[in-house]
Amino acid sequence: MDREMLLLLPLWYVVFLLSATCHEAAHAWVALLGGDRTAYQGGQVSLNPLPHIRREPVGTLLVPLLSYWMFASDGAGRWMMGWASAPYDPSWEERHPRRAALMALAGPLANVLLATIAGVVLGLGLERGVGAVPPSLEFDHLVLAPAGTVWWGIGRMCSVLLTLNLVLAILNLLPLPPLDGSSVLAGLAPPFRALRARLLANPLAGLVGLLVAWQVFPFVFAPVYSVVLGWLYP
């Protein structure tokens, strides 16, 4: 891991933790509005990352740092993976499937909001000339600015915030169990609700769903990312 990788590690982790916390807090908040107090009682209706870390220490601490090191060691560039979760009452989901669908949709929408904020900040910086289009794009380097300046830090942070949250939003919206998209579809389509319940009864179904989502994801992400970059660099 070179010097730049080490320098950007704290930035990546802060953005990852912010993104995961906002995602799960949105789930928990909408569930509370819909009548399920499970996540609220667990402390997840909060932008404080500590309750989310305590619930998923492996997904919020170990895996993100380990994945960053693995990507860097393989020469695959800078990236970070992990997860968090917010509990809910399955019986509440059965009684109120549409409310549960809104709860599931809230997490990805929180990521869309964060990505939009980051894109607006980057766009304003480019428009006002404090940053420029870099000769080559990386997920954490969407604007070029002199090293050591405030805009260098803002540009790098917003680059990660934009890309990571776009990934989280698109991946989670895929309608495959156990991703949020399957819960959204289950709340709106009763036939799929029954199918999803049968699939999740099998412990391997979630793993298979994640593997399929990982194969499908690039074909969905690439065109969306191209549209976003086209908006950012008109």
> Residue 148: its pLDDT value, please?
83
Residue 206, pLDDT score: 85
**Amino acid at position 130, single letter:** V
At residue 73, does pLDDT exceed 80?
Answer: no
Residues 8-26: pLDDT tens digits?
Answer: 999 999 999 999 999 999 9
Tell me the residue type at 107.
G
What does the alpha-carbon distance between residue 96 and residue 56 come to, in Å, rounded to a whole number? 26
Contact partners, residue 149, CB within 8 Å, separation at least 6: none
Helices (H), the chain: 3-33, 38-41, 49-55, 57, 63-73, 90-95, 97-127, 150-173, 180-188, 190-200, 203-232
Say what the pLDDT of residue 3 is: 83
pLDDT for 234 equals: 80
Domain boundaries along the sequence of the chain: 1-86, 110-234
**The token pair that represents 115 in the structure block:** 């990505």
Which residue, among 110, 102, 64, 109, has the nearest Cα to 83 in the 3D structure? 64
Query: How confident is the model at residue 2, as a pLDDT?
Result: 80
Confidence check: pLDDT of 75 > 80: no
40-44, 83-87, 174-178, 202-206: least confidently modelled range? 202-206
pLDDT per position as a tens digit, 107-153: 999 999 999 999 999 999 999 999 899 999 999 999 999 888 899 99
With a pLDDT cut of 90, the percent of the chain lying above it is 81
pLDDT of res. 65: 95
Q: What is the pLDDT of residue 49?
A: 97
Percent of the chain clearing pLDDT 70 (strictly above): 99
Task: Transcribe 86-155 into DSSP letters.
Answer: ----HHHHHH-HHHHHHHHHHHHHHHHHHHHHHHHHHHHHHHTTSSB--SS-BTTBSSB--TTSHHHHHH
pLDDT of residue 124: 95
**pLDDT bracket for residue 1 (50, 70, 90):** low
Mean pLDDT of 101-112: 98
User: Under a CB-based contact definition with an 8 Å cutoff, are residues 79 and 139 in contact?
Assistant: yes
- Least reliable range by pLDDT among 29-33, 200-204, 214-218: 200-204
**What's the CA gap between 24 and 42, in Å, rounded?**
12
The reported pTM is 0.94
Question: Cα–chain-centroid distance for residue 223?
Answer: 18
| pLDDT tens, residue by residue, 166-200 | 999 999 999 999 999 999 999 989 888 888 888 88
pLDDT one-digit tens code per residue, 210-224 = 999 999 999 999 999
d(CA 83, CA 225): 22
- Provide the mean pLDDT of the chain: 94
What confidence score (pLDDT) does residue 134 get?
93
The set of long-range contacts for 135-140, using a CB threshold of 8 Å and a minimum separation of 24, is: 137/229, 138/77, 138/78, 139/77, 139/78, 139/79, 139/163, 139/164, 140/8, 140/11, 140/12, 140/78
